[in-house]
Amino acid sequence: MPSMVDRIEQIEAGGRQAVSAAASAAELEEVRVTWLGRKAELTAILRGIADLEPAERGPVGGAANRTRKALEAQIEERGAELAAAELETGLVEDRIDVTLPGSPARAVGHLHPITRTRRLIEDVMVGLGYRVMEGPEVEHDFYNFTALNHPEDHPARMLQDTFYVDPAGPVEAGDGPRDVLLRTHTSPMQVRAMEAAPPPIFMIVPGKTYRRDSDATHSPMFHQVEGLAVGEGITLADLKGTLLAMLREIFGPDREIRMRPHFFPFTEPSVEFDVSCFRCSGTGTLNDSSRCGLCKGIGWIELGGAGMVDPNVFGFVSDSGYDSDQITGFAFGFGIERIAMLRHGVGDLRLFFDNDVRLLEQFS
Amino acid sequence: MKVPYSWMAEYCDPGLEPGVLAERLAMTGTEVERVARVGPPDPSGFVIGVVSEAGSHPDADRLSVCQVEVGDGLRTIVCGAPNVAAGQTVVVALPGAVMPDGNRIRKAKLRGVASEGMICSEVELGLGTESDGIMVLEEGLAAPGTPAAEVLALDEAVLELEVTPNRTDCFSVYGVAREAQAITGAELAPPPWQGPEVQTGGAVEAVVSVTVEDPEMCPRFTARAFTDVTIAPSPKWLQSRLVAAGQRPINNVVDITNYVMLLTGQPLHAFDLDLVPGGELTVRSAIEGERITTLDGIERELKPGMVLVCDRNGPAAIAGIMGGSVSEVSDSTTSVLLEAATWKGPNILKSSRELNLRSEASARFEKQLHPALAERAQIVAGKLFTEICGATVVEGMVDVSVGMPESRELKLRGGRVERILGMEIAIDEQAEALERLGFGVERDGSDLVITVPPDRYFDVTREIDLVEEVGRVNDLDRRLPATLPAGSDAVGGLSRQQTLQRRAEDSLRETGLNEIVGWSFTDPGEAARLRIAAPDPRATPVTLSNPLSEDQSVMRTTLLGSLLGAAQRNLSRGAERVGLFESGRVYLPAADVGPGPLGGDFPGKRRAPANELQHLAALVTGPLDPPSWSDTREAADFYALKGVLERLGAGLGVPLTVRPGEQPFLHPGRCGEVLASGSSLGWIGEIHPAIASEWDLVNCLAFEIELAGLLEASPLGNEVYEDFTPFPPVDRDVAVVIADEVAAGEVLAAVREAGGPLLVDTAIFDVYRGKGIAEDEKSIALRLRFRAADRTLSDEEVDPAWKAVVSALEGLGGRLRG
C-alpha cells in the first residue's frame, strides 16, 4: 500500500494539473472546491492527522500542509492570470470610434497682437536691465513739447498735427487753450521719470499715442515704446549696442543695425535706425532673384528714431540731479504696430483697431 | 528740395553716380527721397533739327507737313503744333527714340503722309510743365544733327532731398554742394557770391526808399534797382535748371529771382519799379480787414500780425510769402526793384498757416534765415540781371538793418566727442570735418574754438551740435562700435502691478475670450445711448478741441462702448460666438488717484490732467464654447460670465463678491456690483435689452472693473503659510425657506457672521423653488463646515455656533425646512 506521503504527492500533482487547466474564474473556483474544499481528500487527510501513529504525524502533516499552500498559491496566481486576460478581452470589445472629433475643452482665447508684441518688447528690455513705466495719455504741453526742447512755434504743435483737449472740460488745465493735449509720442515720460528719480535711469515706456493722421499707414491712435538710459558715461555707441541687442531678440540673431543721422528737437546727435531685412537677409533680393517686397529691395527696414538726450532736456530736470556735463543718456522710440506688422505680415494698420475675431484668432 | 545733379556739380563734383551720392547723403543726415530723372530715359535718339519747310497737310487742317534738316539730310515730319514754321531750330525725336512717358517713336503714316520722327515740345521732352507748341531754340544754337543732350539738360539726375528742418543751408544748391564736399572730400568751388561787396547807399537811394516800422519782424531789408530791363524768356539752360528743380519758368526777371533762391537759399522778390509810386516801400503789420491780391490772382484778407511790404497806396506784397499783383513784373516792365530781406521765421510760419498759403519763399523764411544771406543773393542776382536781361544796375544798395547778429564762437572741448559718441575721432579729424562744413576752426590746446558761419547760425548753437556735426560726417554708422552701457548695475523687471496685470489678462484669455484694442475716442452721444447721465462722471468726457471727426471727439469713460461696437461688427460679419475682453484706459474727470500708474498715479511733478484708469472689461453674447457634435451649447447667461469673473479673481487670489447693484445700461434685475474686500471695483450684468438692440445685440452679458483696485486686493506673492489641521471637520447641512427677495449673498453673509471662528466654510449647494414652497419664497440649502485647529470638535461644542446660525437665518425671515 502506498504510503500517505506518496498519496499526498499524487494529490499535489493532480491539483496542479487541474489549476493549470482552469480556463475561467468559475472553473478555477470549482477546482479550488474540489482540491481544497471541505470535502476534498487533502482536507480529510489534514483533519485525520491526529489519528495517525505518532511517527507518521510529522511527515504526513508537513507534506499535506506544503501541498495545500502550494495549491493555494498556484490558484491565486492562476486567478490573477485569468482576471487579466478577461479584462483584456472585455476592453477589446469595449470599442469607441476614436476618429470622432474630441469634445472641445473651453476654447482658449487670444491676446491682441499689439499686446503680444508689447510684451515681447518689454521682456527683451527687462532682460537688458530696464524697467517698464507708464505715463498719462492726456498730457500737459510742458511734458509733450516744452521740456522736450520743442520751440514755441514747432510745427508739431500746430492744430493740424496734435489733438488738443478742451480746457473747459473736466481736466486740470494750466494756462492757455493749448495746455492739455493727447500725447503725440511716449517721450513725455522721459521728463516725468527724470523729475521723479535721480540718475541712473533705465526704463522703457510702452503706450498709446495720438496724431491727427488717418490712412493705411497712419492711425490717429497708435502705440509706441520709448526707451531711456541715463547715467554717467552713456554714449551713442551704447545706444547702438542696446538697439542691436533688442532687434536681434525680436527679429533674429543675424540682424544688423544701421543708424542714419537725423534731427529731433530733444536728442542731439539724433539718428534714425534701421534693421537689416529678415526676409532677404539684408540683400534686397529673394532666392528667386526677385526684389524683396518687405524692404522694397533696400535691404534695410526703417524702424524708429533715437539719439543722445539733448542738454536742454536735462536743463528742465537739473533740480533732480541731471547735469549735462556729468550725465549723458540716450533715448529711442518706435512703433509697436510697425513691429507687429513686420513680424506678422499685417499690411494695413487699421486692421489692428477693427478687432475682427478672424484676425485676433490668428495669434495664439 | 530738388537738386539737379549737374547744377550741384558745377560747385562740387564728387564724381559719384547720383545713386551713390544719395546713399552717402542719407547716411550723413540728409534723406534722399529718390533720384529722379528729367527728360527721356535715353537721350541718344534726340537731335537738333532745322525746319526748312512747313506746309499744310492735304487732308488735315491742324497738321503741318515739314521738311526738317537733321544732319543726314531732309526728313518729312508731320507736326501738329500750331507754332511750327520754317527756319526754326528744334529738337527732333528720331524713329526709335523713347519719350519720357515711355512711348517709342516710329515711322508712321499720319492721315496718309509718312512721318519720320517727331518735333518735340518742352512737355513732351519732360523739360517743362506747359507749352503752347513745339520748343523753339535760339537760331544757330547748334548744327543740325547735333545730339540734343549736348545743348539741353536732357539727361539730368535730380536728387530729391528730404532736408531736416534745422538744415536751412541745404535748401540751396550751393549748400548741398558744400555738404557733398564735406562728406566726400571733393573740391568745393568758391561761392557764386564771391566778389566785390555791394556798397550800401549810392545812386539807388534816389529811386528807392524803404521804411521798416517793425525791425523785430524784419531784421534786414535790402533793395537794388535795375533799369533798361528787357523782359523775355530766360535762356534754355536756366529754364531747364528751373524745371529740373521743380519750378515753372515765367520770364527772365522772375526766373532769376527763383534761380538765385535755389542757388543761395535766400528768396527774392522783384517789383516793377514803375508801379511802385515814388519807389517808396514800407514794411508794416497788416491792418484788420486789409486785402491784397497775390501773384496767383487770389484776393486774400489779411490780419494784424501778418507783415506786409506796402507802397504808398497799400499792400504790395505779403512779406516772405508772396508778392502782390499790383506791382507784378510783366512784359512791359523796364525797371525792377529787387528785394532781398530777412524775416522773423516764426511769424512767417504763423502767417502762412493762417493764410493757408505756402510758397518756396515762405518754406525757407519760416525756418529763419541769417541776414548775411540777403546780400549774397543781391550779388548773384545783380550779375544775372546784367547778363540775361541786359539791365543797367543802379549803383548801390538800400540796406535797412538792425545789424548782423553777433558772430558765434563755440568751444569743442577735447574728449567731448568721444564722451558723447563712444568712439574716438582724432582732434585733427574733428578740425578737418568742421572746416569742410564751413566752420572757422582754431586750436586751443586740446580744445577747438569754432566760429559758426551764417548758414548754420541758428542750427549750431552749442558744443553738442558740433559733436553731432563731427560724428555725422565721419562715417558714423560704420565706425561707431556697438556697446552696452558700462558698469550699469540696473536691475530690470516688471512691477508687481505689471506682473499681475498680465496675469489678469491671461486669465481672461484662458477662459476663452479674445482681447480687443478699442479706440480711446468715441462719439459724444455714446453716454446718452448707454443712458449714463450727470452727475455720473462718465457723462462728462474729456473733449477734444480739434477732433478728426465727430465720431471720435471725446475720450471714452467706459470700455463698454468699445466692446459693444466690436461685438456688433463681428456678428454682422458672421461670427457665431462673441466673447471679448479689453484691458485699457478710461479717461475720467481729474480726481484723487492711485494706487500706482494703473490707478492714474504717474511719476512726475505735475499731475496728469485727467484721471486715467486702467479698466478690465468683458462682453459675451452667445455660447462661450465652440460648437461640438456631442452636446448642445447654451448661450452664456449671467452665471456663465460671473464664473469668468470669479475665475479672474481666483487667479489673483482675490475672492470677488457680487451684490445687487444698479447701472443705467443694465437689465435692472440682472445687475451686480463687484466688490473685493468690501470695496467696489465695478459692475457685472446683462445689458439692458433696449440698449443692446441699439448695437443689434441680444442676450449680452458684460462686466467692467478697475484693475488697480483688483490688483491691490491680491495677496499674490505675499501669501503666508497656514498649518493645516489634522482634526476632522463637522459638517452640517441646513435648508432654509426664505422670501425670494432676500439675496443668497445676504444669507451667506449672515451665516458667516453668526457662525463664529469655528465655522470655516459655507457653501450653497441647492436653490429650490416649486412644489411645497410658496410662490414668493425659495429654499436655499447650505453646507456648513466647522473645524478647530487643535482638537476634534464635539457636537456639544458646535451647537452654540449652530444655534447662532439658525437664529441669524430666522432674523432674515427664514425658517428651517423639514
Q: Which residue of B has its CA nearest to A125?
A: B492
Q: Does A82 share its domain with A134?
A: no
Q: For residue range B270-323, what is the model confidence (pLDDT) as tens digits?
A: 999 999 999 999 999 999 999 999 999 999 999 999 999 999 999 999 999 999
Distance from CA of B296 to the nearest CA of A (A): 25
Q: Does A169 share its domain with A20?
A: no
Q: For residue range B218-229, what is the model confidence (pLDDT) as tens digits?
A: 999 999 999 999
Q: Does A55 share its domain with A163?
A: no
Instruction: Report the pLDDT averaged over residues A71-84.
Output: 92
Q: Does A306 share its domain with A216?
A: yes
User: In whole numbers, what is the pLDDT of chain B averaged over residues?
Assistant: 92
- Residue of A179, A192, A354 lying closest to B604 (CB–CB): A192
pLDDT band per the 50, 70, 90 thresholds, residue A2:
low
Show the beta-strand stretches assigned E in B128-277. 156-162, 209-212, 220-227, 269-272
Pairwise CA distance, residues A48 & A37, whole Å: 15
Pairwise CA distance, residues B588 & A171, whole Å: 8
Give the contacts of B95 (CB within 8 A, at least 6 positions apart). B45, B105, B106, B107, B116, B117
Asked if A355 lies within 8 A of B569 by C-beta distance, the reply is yes
Q: For residue range B240-259, what is the model confidence (pLDDT) as tens digits?
A: 899 889 888 899 999 999 99
Question: For residues B705 and B615, is the Cβ–Cβ distance under 8 A?
Answer: yes
Q: Does A163 share its domain with A82?
A: no
- Residue of A110, A155, A196 lying closest to B515 (CB–CB): A110
Number of domains in chain A: 2
A101 falls within a domain? no
Q: Does A181 share its domain with A307?
A: yes
Asked if A169 lies within 8 A of B520 by C-beta distance, the reply is no
Distance from CA of A287 to the nearest CA of B (A): 25
**pLDDT for position B608:** 95
Pairwise CA distance, residues A185 & B216, whole Å: 34
Residues of A in contact with B412 (CB under 8 A): none
- Residue of B508, B520, B629 lying closest to A137 (CB–CB): B520
Residues of B in contact with A270 (CB under 8 A): 468
Instruction: Report the pLDDT averaged over residues B570-584.
Output: 93
Q: How many helices (H) and strands (E) does chain A have?
A: 11, 9
Which residue, A320, A307, A306, is CA-closest to A191? A320
B-facing residues of A in 194-233 (CB < 8 A) are: 195-197, 200, 202, 208, 210, 212, 214, 220-221, 229, 231, 233
Q: For residue range A175-229, what is the model confidence (pLDDT) as tens digits?
A: 888 899 999 999 999 999 999 999 999 999 999 999 998 887 889 999 999 999 9
Q: Does A132 share its domain with A85?
A: no
- Evaluate if residue A65 carries a pLDDT over 70: yes
Q: For residue range B729-753, what is the model confidence (pLDDT) as tens digits?
A: 999 999 999 999 898 889 999 999 9
Pairwise CA distance, residues B506 & B514, whole Å: 10
Q: What are phi and psi of A310, to 5 degrees?
A: -70, 135
A295 falls within a domain? yes
Question: For residues B605 and B612, is the Cβ–Cβ distance under 8 A?
Answer: no
Q: Does A134 share its domain with A36?
A: no
Asked if B422 lies within 8 A of A235 by C-beta distance, the reply is yes
Q: Does A74 share its domain with A170?
A: no
Does any CB of chain B come closer than 8 Å to the CB of residue A192?
Answer: yes
Does any CB of chain B come closer than 8 Å to the CB of residue A302?
Answer: no
Q: Which residue of A has its CA nearest to B477?
A: A259
Distance from CA of A335 to the nearest CA of B (A): 15
Q: How many helices (H) and strands (E) does chain B have?
A: 21, 38
Q: Does A67 share its domain with A156?
A: no
pLDDT band per the 50, 70, 90 thresholds, residue B186:
very high
Which residue of B480, B571, B612, B711 is the best one to mutate when testing the A interface, meaning the one whose CB has the most A CBs within 10 A?
Answer: B480
Asked if B167 lies within 8 A of A263 by C-beta distance, the reply is yes
Instruction: Report the pLDDT averaged over residues B646-673.
Output: 93
Cell numbers found for residue B161: 532731398
Which residue of B27, B517, B616 is the best one to mutate when testing the A interface, meaning the one whose CB has the most A CBs within 10 A?
Answer: B517
Question: For residues A218 and A160, is the Cβ–Cβ distance under 8 A?
Answer: no
A106 falls within a domain? no
B-facing residues of A in 70-99 (CB < 8 A) are: none
Q: For residue range A16-52, what is the model confidence (pLDDT) as tens digits?
A: 999 999 988 899 999 999 999 888 888 888 888 888 8
A102 falls within a domain? no
- Evaluate if residue A82 carries a pLDDT over 50: yes
Which residue of B546, B569, B573 is the best one to mutate when testing the A interface, meaning the one whose CB has the most A CBs within 10 A?
Answer: B546
Q: What are phi and psi of A186, to 5 degrees?
A: -85, 0
| 3-state SS class at B360 | helix
**pLDDT for position A1:** 46
Q: Which residue of A has its CA nearest to B604?
A: A192
Q: Which residue of B has its CA nearest to A330?
A: B420
Question: For residues B605 and A129, is the Cβ–Cβ distance under 8 A?
Answer: no
Instruction: Report the pLDDT averaged over residues A289-308.
Output: 92
Residues of B in contact with A179 (CB under 8 A): 609
* ipTM of this complex prediction, to 2 decimal places: 0.85
Asked if B580 lies within 8 A of A355 by C-beta distance, the reply is yes
Share of chain B above pLDDT 90, in %: 72
pLDDT band per the 50, 70, 90 thresholds, residue A241:
very high
Q: Which residue of A has its CA nearest to B600?
A: A136
Question: For residues B477 and B460, is the Cβ–Cβ distance under 8 A?
Answer: no
Asked if B579 lies within 8 A of A140 by C-beta distance, the reply is no
Q: Which residue of B has its CA nearest to A352?
A: B517
Q: Does A224 share its domain with A355?
A: yes
Instruction: Report the pLDDT averaged over residues B639-667.
Output: 93
Asked if A169 lies within 8 A of B540 by C-beta distance, the reply is yes
A98 falls within a domain? no
**pLDDT for position A103:** 66
Q: Does A21 share its domain with A124?
A: no
Give the contacts of B624 (CB within 8 A, at least 6 positions apart). A106, A107, B511, B512, B577, B579, B636, B640, B644
Asked if A172 lies within 8 A of B630 by C-beta distance, the reply is no
B-facing residues of A in 127-146 (CB < 8 A) are: 127-140, 142-143
Share of chain A above pLDDT 90, in %: 64
Distance from CA of A21 to the nearest CA of B (A): 46
A99 falls within a domain? no
CA dihedral B568, B572, B575, B579 (to 10 degrees): 0
A107 falls within a domain? no
Residues of B in contact with A115 (CB under 8 A): 505, 515, 517, 583
A355 falls within a domain? yes
Question: For residues B367 and B168, is the Cβ–Cβ distance under 8 A?
Answer: yes
Asked if B482 lies within 8 A of A257 by C-beta distance, the reply is yes
| CATH code for the domain in which residue A220 is found | 3.30.930.10
Residues of B in contact with A163 (CB under 8 A): 544-547
Q: Which of A88-97, B278-287, B616-625 has the highest mean pLDDT?
A: B278-287
Which residue of A115, A134, A146, A320 is the best one to mutate when testing the B interface, meaning the one whose CB has the most B CBs within 10 A?
Answer: A134
Vertex A356: Cα angle to A351 and A362 (nearest 5): 90
Asked if A129 lies within 8 A of B491 by C-beta distance, the reply is yes
Between A and B, how many CB-CB pairs are < 8 A? 314
Vertex A307: Cα angle to A302 and A312 (nearest 5): 145
**pLDDT for position A58:** 86
- Residue of B492, B607, B629 lying closest to A126 (CB–CB): B492
**pLDDT for position B476:** 87
- Residue of B491, B543, B603 lying closest to A165 (CB–CB): B543
Asked if A214 lies within 8 A of B610 by C-beta distance, the reply is no
- Residue of B422, B520, B587 lying closest to A221 (CB–CB): B520
Question: Cα dist. B317→B326, B328, B339, B489, B742 in Å?
Answer: 9, 10, 11, 62, 83
Asked if A260 lies within 8 A of B26 by C-beta distance, the reply is yes
Domain carrying residue A201: 113-363
Please indicate whether residue B491 or residue B431 has the higher confidence score (pLDDT): B431
Distance from CA of B617 to the nearest CA of A (A): 14
DSSP A130-178: -EE----SEEEHHHHTGGGT--TT-GGGSTTTS-BB-TTSSS---SSTT
Asked if B514 lies within 8 A of A131 by C-beta distance, the reply is no
Q: Which residue of A has its CA nearest to B368?
A: A153
Pairwise CA distance, residues B95 & B229, whole Å: 42
Does any CB of chain B come closer than 8 Å to the CB of residue A346?
Answer: no
Asked if A260 lies within 8 A of B167 by C-beta distance, the reply is no
Asked if A108 lies within 8 A of B629 by C-beta distance, the reply is no
Please indicate whether residue B744 or residue B581 has the higher confidence score (pLDDT): B581
Asked if B164 lies within 8 A of A208 by C-beta distance, the reply is no
Asked if A171 lies within 8 A of B548 by C-beta distance, the reply is no
